[in-house]
Structure 1
Amino acid sequence: MERPLPAIAKAFQELEKEVEKGGEAVISVADFAHACSLISVLFGCLGMAFKFAEKDYVSKVQDLSKAADEFESLPAMIDYDIRNNSVRDGGSHTRNLLRVLRGVDMVRLLFQQILITEGNTLKGPASTAYDQVFARHHSWTIRKAVGAGMFLLPSKSQFLKKLNEEEDDARVHIQGYATSSGPIVQYVTHLFLSKDLGTEW
């Protein structure tokens, strides 16, 4: 994909339209997995600091893509795992959904920080996003490795160049994703909470 940012923003804006329907909102597994798959390239562009996230995220999005052949909606997919008492099993669709959701949320926070942080460094924005989403779920060893990798992050301009973007255009799409992904994170989080699953596991 030559310019992933516009496609990422558009995909999540389409999901947001579904969420805006209110109580009747039902996001399909296929649409969610497709939108999330577009984010994968971002982790690769961030370098070694998020290498762990790229590999883990990609494999779990692929699982959701396959699950779309069997389940039409995210609630139906979760309900299946609940009935089979497999929600928290390693490799379950619901467990993978939670891991993917964290990746979506991390990118959302990263983009928010990029928009409000001056200068050309990504260390501050990336560190804030990691600390808020991933850090509490990782061992001390992983946290230390990620911390060291933060010093190897590309600059903001290098990051945008990898994405084939100029800063002014990029900000529009970054804002588009940061705004539209928030309701998606809230929607999926609500699915977990409404089924008494929680999200801290």
Structure 2
Amino acid sequence: MTGASPDHWLPTMTQAFMALDSSTHAINTAEFATAMEKVLPIFEKIGTVFLFARHEMHTKIDTIKAVQAQMASLDQVVAAGKQDGTITQKNSPARNVHRLLNTLNFIAAIFQNLAKGMALKDAVSDAYDRTLAQIHAWVVRAGIKTGMMALPTREHFLASIGETEESARQHAEGFVDAAHKLVGLVEKLYEGVEMPRSDFSMSSLWK
């Protein structure tokens, strides 16, 4: 069996992020990678337009897992990237940590919007504009915006993850709070570094 069952996915993801110690920069690399893996199922629930994001995120998590034995904490991953000049290099562990934080912000923003009563399409669209759209090229943004027209309804999404309005709000609140604490802490490690825009192209997935 792979992943959490639909009726346990959201609380499982929430627990994974709440369990991360965000009191210091020394967030465990392996635990961070494991928590990010808990996010992956959402991309199968919000529509096929974001399946590329699942693919990209999975690849980035793998690069973090590949160094977790040598770099036990995220501050070590980022420090190594600064030292060897790979922090802005495509698919380097340090750059991929930053990219994963962007994705985490995106997911957190979706749940914030759902808590406001937005339809799923509006919640995802607004979350994307405020997060991932900031690093995507125009052609990628245009493709994703077009694909959002096929997103499921709010009701269908909640049913697909086995949650009611009340239970989803309860679990998501803890996730959003934990995600924001984590992002705020780790982003400080990148102060003084100008991170590049994404050079991702959806067509690259089919090459």
Please give the TM-score of this superposition, normalised by the length of structure 2.
0.87
Question: 3-state DSSP class of the match of 2:102?
Answer: helix
**Structure 1 residues 27-106: aligned runs within 5 Å:** 27-106=27-106
Aligned length: 192
Shift of 1:161: 1.8
Shift of 1:76: 0.7
Q: Which amino acid in the other structure matches residue 171 of structure 2? A: H
- In the alignment, the residues of structure 2 paired with residue 190 and residue 71 of structure 1 have an alpha-carbon distance, to the nearest angstrom, of 18
- In the alignment, the residues of structure 1 paired with residue 128 and residue 53 of structure 2 have an alpha-carbon distance, to the nearest angstrom, of 10
1:189, 1:199 within 8 Å by CA — same for their partners in 2? no
Which residue, 151, 171, 193 being the options, matches 1:197?
193
Structure 2 unpaired stretches of 5+: 198-207
**Pair 1:13 & 2:13 matched:** no
1:29, 1:74 within 8 Å by CA — same for their partners in 2? yes
Question: 3-state DSSP class of the match of 1:65?
Answer: helix
Q: Which amino acid in the other structure matches residue 150 of structure 2? A: L
Q: Deviation digits for residues 102-141 of structure 1, max 9, x if unmatched?
A: 11000011110010124xx211110111001111211221
- In the alignment, the residues of structure 2 paired with residue 199 and residue 114 of structure 1 have an alpha-carbon distance, to the nearest angstrom, of 30
1:37, 1:61 within 8 Å by CA — same for their partners in 2? yes
Which structure: greater helix fraction? 1
Shift of 1:7: 0.9
- In the alignment, the residues of structure 1 paired with residue 116 and residue 165 of structure 2 have an alpha-carbon distance, to the nearest angstrom, of 14
Shift of 1:165: 2.0
Question: 3-state DSSP class of the match of 1:146?
Answer: helix
| Residue in 1 that maps onto 2:166 | 168
| Residue in 2 that maps onto 1:130 | 128
Q: Deviation digits for residues 82-113 of structure 1, max 9, x if unmatched?
A: 22111111221011111111110000111100
- In the alignment, the residues of structure 2 paired with residue 25 and residue 140 of structure 1 have an alpha-carbon distance, to the nearest angstrom, of 34
**Pair 1:108 & 2:116 matched:** no
Q: Which amino acid in the other structure matches residue 114 of structure 1? A: L
Q: Which amino acid in the other structure matches residue 31 of structure 1? A: E
- In the alignment, the residues of structure 1 paired with residue 69 and residue 25 of structure 2 have an alpha-carbon distance, to the nearest angstrom, of 20
Structure 1 unpaired stretches of 5+: none
| Residue in 2 that maps onto 1:151 | 149
Please give the TM-score of this superposition, normalised by the length of structure 1.
0.90
Question: 3-state DSSP class of the match of 1:26?
Answer: coil
RMSD over equivalenced CA pairs, Å: 1.5
| Residue in 2 that maps onto 1:141 | 139
Q: Deviation digits for residues 13-51 of structure 1, max 9, x if unmatched?
A: 112xx22x3xx4420111111111100111121112322
Runs of 4 or more, structure 1, over 4 Å off, are none
| Residue in 2 that maps onto 1:182 | 180
